[in-house]
Amino acid sequence: MGKISQAIDNGYTAVFREVLGSLLGAAESNFGQIFKNSFSAHRDEVTITTKAGYDMWGGVYGDQNGSRKYLIASVDQSLKRLGLDYVDIFYHHVPDPNTPIEETAVALDHIVKSGKALYVGISNYNSKQTTEIGKIFKELHTPFVVNQVPYSMLERWIEKDGLLDFAKQEGFGLVAFSPLGKGLLTDKYLKGIPADSRIGKGNPFLKPDVLTTELVDTLNALNNIALERGQTLAQMALSWVLKDSIVASVLIGASRPEQITENIATLEKPLSSEHIEKIESLLQKIAK
């Protein structure tokens, strides 16, 4: 574990690649096998997406992020692992400061026009970066449909950055990841730090000092509103993210089937304006 933590702190170093090298692409391979065995007859009824960014394979070109060679090789490898002819949306996971944005955009356009993806998505692009690549997509007539970004009650930079309003203006959707604030917006931390939680296990991306007295008090107050609505705190957090129609989808993480069932039940109880107002008044107390 120490080796992985050191690698993360150094920013995806060679050590990190050594530790995780055997895992790269495993999710696609596992999905491909399950899909082939159980769901292939329903291919036209589902939306399948994948993405490239950060480390994709070992070697010189495996972490070139936004280059033409990296992106086209990545989608080819992904399709082979998935056992598919195409994906519905192919995402570029993160802006690459070392590659001209024109090269990235043209490569993504090529992937669609070569039939390997139906639509293009981006991820972790702020409003300025989205504007830049979006302009090129328009010129190329590339079907750009979505930007995947972190968004939750506790992480709202897309509002201050203007990306939320820009998405509405331009007509592309937003997909929210980390909608539960890395687990903070669940009932796990209402009374402290459980040993089996991310913080309790020493997750390098969620330090104990984030759980201030003020935050814990706010989480408990939010939990009271959720209970008033007949929801868990996690369900209400998902309802909050989905309150705006420009949010096309929310990425959920589940370790047990019942968690998926719980999350889906969120759709049955959209937030009222009254509850939104109550939630916002609480969140203002911890806003940075």
Encode pLDDT of 237-247 as tens digits.
999 999 999 99
What is residue 59's predicted lDDT score, i.e. its pLDDT? 72
d(C-alpha 119, C-alpha 91), whole Å: 9
97: in domain: yes
pLDDT in the model for residue 251: 94
Q: CA 133, 141, 139, 85 torsion: positive or negative?
A: positive
Number of folded domains in the chain? 1
What was the pLDDT predicted at 255?
78
- pLDDT of amino acid 24: 79
Cβ(224)–Cβ(212) below 8 Å = no
Residues 78-123 have pLDDT tens digits of: 999 999 999 999 999 999 999 999 999 999 999 999 999 999 999 9
The answer to whether residue 32 is domain-embedded is no
Q: What is the pLDDT of residue 7?
A: 40
Q: Is residue 1 part of a domain?
A: no
Flag residues of the chain having pLDDT under 70.
1-22, 57, 60-62, 64, 288
Please indicate, yes or no, if residue 148 is contained in any of the structural domains: yes
Report yes or no on 23 lying in a domain. Answer: no
Q: Give the chain as a DSSP string.
A: -HHHHHHHHTTS-HHHHHHHGGGTTHHHHHHHHHIIIIIGGGGGGS--EEEE-S--SSSTTTT-TT-HHHHHHHHHHHHHHHT-S-EEEEEE-S--TTS-HHHHHHHHHHHHHTTSEEEEEEES--HHHHHHHHHHHHHHT--EEEEEEE-SSS--HHHHHTHHHHHHHHT-EEEEE-TTGGGTTSGGGTTS--TTSTTTTT-TTS-GGGS-HHHHHHHHHHHHHHHHTT--HHHHHHHHHTTSTTEEEE----SSHHHHHHHHGGGGSPPPHHHHHHHHHHHTTT--
Contacts of 74 (CB under 8 A, 6+ apart): 52, 56
For residue 85, give the CATH number of its domain: 3.20.20.100
In a domain, 126, yes or no: yes
Encoded amino acid at 10, one letter: N
Residue 67 in any domain: the answer is: yes
Residue 46, domain extent: 42-283
pLDDT at res. 259: 87
pLDDT of residue 62: 66
